[in-house]
Structure 1
Amino acid sequence: MNKDKNSPWMFFASVKLTLFILFILAAASIIGTVLPQGEGAGAYTQFYMSKLDVSSQTANIMTNITFLLDLDTMYQSWWFRTLLLLLSANLIVCTIERLPDVWRLVVQDNLATDLDRIGNMRNRRHYTSSLTVEESCRQISEALKPLGWQTGQRQRDKATLLFAQKAPWSRLGVYVVHASILVIFIGALIGSIWGEKGGVNIPETLTTDKIYQFGTGSPVDLGFTVKCNWFHMERYPNGTPKTYASELVIIEDGDEVLTQVIDVNDPLKYKGWTFYQSSYQSHEKFIFSVVNNESKNEERFLAPPQKAVRWSDENLLFGIQELIPSSTPGSYKYKLLVADNKGGQNLYMIEDNQQITVKQPDGKLYTFHVKEFFSTGLQVGKDPGVWVVYIGCLLMLIGLTGAFFIFHKRIWILVRQEDDTTRILLAGTTNKNKAAFETEFNNLSDKVADINQIEAQ
């Protein structure tokens, strides 16, 4: 493998390339966030004219540039995917280039460390002991074990060397982050290729088995049927919508398998599809639900105002005669006209989405429920790569924890007999956060000094 500094391999192993790609991706993501995605030419022209205060001619030029550079579908564009591919190649090459050296540090034989190097470490303490070498090693190992230090030992140059370490795998944290980014890219690519994003309007009481792709408007089969049982909206006193929600039913093979009320922050999820409450549309019609209180016979009707509705089975004629604005802008009260079976007519005042009970001359009681007829607007998405992205995010958390919050700490204890005295050297090092390790090392040295018949020098 050619590792000349000007070779393609070293180009992709460059950290400068990583920073450059990340800068371009960040700038592109800002553009993709500010610039509406998937709109038509007219929408972009209007966007540039209103947001940048430019002339229509300039806005048209900017719109043409938008489509030329695929900025209208930026995250699906060839150049954005190419940047992700370059970043992936950069991460892979950087990992291959640097991981072997790090791996050697993780698995190296620390009991073979040069004794002079141990003696020259910044964090070191010297002790003497009247115990034998074997007994000193045993007591030191027992003292360190409750602190999480599991020691191994080996005979070295007429001395005994003890070694213990914590979290050697933390050195791999940055490479786990590299892997997590690649996994997230793979998940995003899966969603980009095989995922779907679209929308659909479903009138109350009606069903659909399709959605329509954003941008193209192409129909996409869901593989099941969605029904909107009802749509409900509450308004603020000034008339602006406060909340709105829909009751959706999933139907498969003629059976209702799932019923759920959704709102803006509580979508319905089924077989990988997610249905978000996003909008609504009024149809200037009204839904009448009428019940014969005695027989419990019930029927539902749909009609505009000032149009009579006949329920033939009950010989009942009714309708909304007049809309009266309520105190809340955008809301109405209704004058409900109900004809009796003797030719008379009666008017009743009823609030939207409320009910009223009417008594006919023959003694029959009917309950009327009247509400404005809406279509619920749903934004629908399917992302088969989302679980891959979640796995990547979990890996990233693990990697970042290892890279920034957990450190590889190592200690050596060299024990040797000199004349009638056992001499002990405690030394340690860490790859990061040396100030914190120095505090921990001082605690360790005090722990060793507390052992009976071992004294610090």
Structure 2
Amino acid sequence: MPVAEEALKNKPGRISAAKTAPFLNRILDFLSSVKFGVVLLVILVLFSLVGMLIIQQNVNGFDAYYASLTPAEKFVYGSLGLFDIYHSWYFEFLLLVLSLNIVLASIDHFPSAWSFISRPKLDASRKWLIGQKQSSVVEMHGENERMVVENVSQVFKKHGLKTYVTEKKGKLFVFGESGRWNRLGAYIVHVALLTLFIGHFCSLQFG
């Protein structure tokens, strides 16, 4: 009986944990989504434009600009922190969330990108190839399979593709690619953005 009671006590906890995991996964998926990152970046750009249109309090000529505003404008702009928008809590919060989005997105997508670079898939089934958005079926004739493979390889090389010929389960595959390292371009942009954000944060802390 005590064993049964202990099992019943532990059961709700397990059910709760099982229900919590998908929710956390959804939150992480949302935070790491590219669309969410783009939205955050657009909002930051809009706030930056506001900071350019409204003279900031640490810029020369602010006193004259402030004196030219109506009392209502002074109240609204001051309440929203628009006179010092780059140091406002919501601007810093957006930078923090966007930085988190960049880090999580990089963690999610970098392994697959690096796997494609380090271990490219050199073979594929006919069904998979035909199922791609860009695919076509071309009939080629030659004395034998090796001759056809050689002809395809020459066409690939003529168009600047690095060519690999592999054999698997008695079938020959010709794989051509170019710009393999371009897949890392996004991560270079990520590092550049994070560097800018860190620089902005340091300037806020140390002046």
Could you say whether these structures have the same fold, taking a TM-score greater than 0.5 normalized by the shorter chain as the test?
yes
Q: CA deviation at 1:88?
A: 1.0
DSSP 3-state at the match of 1:125:
coil
Say whether 1:148 aligns with 2:160: yes
Q: CA deviation at 1:37?
A: 1.4
Say whether 1:128 aligns with 2:141: yes
Identity %: 26
Flag the structure with more relative contact order, 1 or 2, with Cα contacts below 8 A and sequence separation at least 6. 1
**Structure 1 residues 66 and 2: CA distance shift in structure 2, 3 A:** same
**Structure 1 residues 18 and 151: CA distance shift in structure 2, 3 A:** closer
**Structure 1 residues 62 and 165: CA distance shift in structure 2, 3 A:** same
Give the whole-Å Cα distance in 1 for the aligned partners of 2:200 and 2:121.
42
Q: CA deviation at 1:12?
A: 1.5
Q: CA deviation at 1:41?
A: 8.9
Deviations 1:55-86 (A, max 9, x none): xxxx1x54345444433222133332222111
Q: CA deviation at 1:23?
A: 4.3
**Structure 1 residues 105 and 35: CA distance shift in structure 2, 3 A:** same
Among 183, 194, 200, the residue aligned to 1:182: 194
Give the whole-Å Cα distance in 2 for the aligned partners of 1:21 and 1:120.
34
Contact 2:123–2:173 at 8 Å: present in 1 too?
no
TM-score (norm 2): 0.67
Contact 1:3–1:10 at 8 Å: present in 2 too?
no
1:394-433 to structure 2, matched below 5 A, reads none
Among 164, 175, 181, the residue aligned to 1:169: 181
Q: Which structure has greater strand proportion?
A: 1
Deviations 1:82-115 (A, max 9, x none): 2211111122222223333444444444223224
In the other structure, the counterpart of 2:67 is: 46
Among 89, 95, 101, the residue aligned to 1:78: 89
1:270-285 to structure 2, matched below 5 A, reads none
In the other structure, the counterpart of 1:27 is: 46
Gapped regions of structure 2 (runs ≥ 5): 1-19
Contact 1:32–1:75 at 8 Å: present in 2 too?
yes
**Structure 1 residues 65 and 6: CA distance shift in structure 2, 3 A:** farther
Contact 2:56–2:62 at 8 Å: present in 1 too?
no
Name which one, 1 or 2, has greater alpha-carbon Rg. Answer: 1
**Structure 1 residues 168 and 45: CA distance shift in structure 2, 3 A:** closer
Give the whole-Å Cα distance in 1 for the aligned partners of 2:178 and 2:24.
36
1:244-283 to structure 2, matched below 5 A, reads none
Give the whole-Å Cα distance in 1 for the aligned partners of 2:41 and 2:170.
55
DSSP 3-state at the match of 1:127:
coil
The residue identity in structure 1 corresponding to 2:69 is Y
Give the whole-Å Cα distance in 2 for the aligned partners of 1:15 and 1:137.
39
Q: CA deviation at 1:125?
A: 0.9
DSSP 3-state at the match of 1:128:
coil
**Structure 1 residues 184 and 2: CA distance shift in structure 2, 3 A:** farther
Contact 2:140–2:148 at 8 Å: present in 1 too?
no
Deviations 1:128-159 (A, max 9, x none): 112x4445444543454343233222223333
Backbone CA RMSD of aligned residues: 3.5
The residue identity in structure 1 corresponding to 2:168 is R
DSSP 3-state at the match of 2:162:
coil
1:1-12 to structure 2, matched below 5 A, reads 2=21, 4=23, 7-12=26-31
Q: Which structure has greater helix proportion?
A: 2
**Structure 1 residues 35 and 111: CA distance shift in structure 2, 3 A:** closer
Contact 2:55–2:62 at 8 Å: present in 1 too?
no
**Structure 1 residues 159 and 9: CA distance shift in structure 2, 3 A:** closer
Contact 1:141–1:151 at 8 Å: present in 2 too?
yes
Q: CA deviation at 1:9?
A: 1.9
Give the whole-Å Cα distance in 2 for the aligned partners of 1:85 and 1:37.
22
Contact 1:4–1:10 at 8 Å: present in 2 too?
no
Give the whole-Å Cα distance in 2 for the aligned partners of 1:173 and 1:80.
27
1:229-378 to structure 2, matched below 5 A, reads none
The residue identity in structure 2 corresponding to 1:173 is G
The residue identity in structure 1 corresponding to 2:128 is R
DSSP 3-state at the match of 1:28:
helix
Contact 1:41–1:63 at 8 Å: present in 2 too?
no
Q: CA deviation at 1:127?
A: 1.0
Gapped regions of structure 1 (runs ≥ 5): 50-58, 196-457
Give the whole-Å Cα distance in 2 for the aligned partners of 1:11 and 1:117.
29
In the other structure, the counterpart of 1:18 is: 37
**Structure 1 residues 155 and 22: CA distance shift in structure 2, 3 A:** closer
Give the whole-Å Cα distance in 2 for the aligned partners of 1:36 and 1:173.
36
